[in-house]
Amino acid sequence: VLITQPKAGTFRAFSAACTHQGQLLSLVQGTNVVCEAHGASFNTDSGKVTRPPASMPLKKYTITKTGTTLYINA
């Protein structure tokens, strides 16, 4: 699971596997997470593809925040 914070206090959770060939996303560049295997990138707020070769968005999970703890509802 990949957790992003696109804005202060706003958290998002996505599958950490690139939708192109399943490699783990390993690099953050600005507002994108990047798959270093083939260069696909995804928006840190929506999970939508911002650069191919991936064509499907990242799977999104719901997050619940209680105090300072984040819970991922898979």
* Spatial distance between the Cα atoms of 14 and 19, rounded to a whole number of angstroms: 11
Beta bridge partners of 28: 33
For residue 74, the model assigns a pLDDT of: 76
* Spatial distance between the Cα atoms of 67 and 4, rounded to a whole number of angstroms: 18
Half-sphere exposure of 53 (CA within 13 A, CB side): 8
β-strand 2-7 against 10-14: which pairing, if any? antiparallel
* Spatial distance between the Cα atoms of 52 and 10, rounded to a whole number of angstroms: 26
Per residue in 8-66, pLDDT tens? 999 999 999 999 999 999 899 999 999 999 999 999 999 999 999 999 999 999 999 99
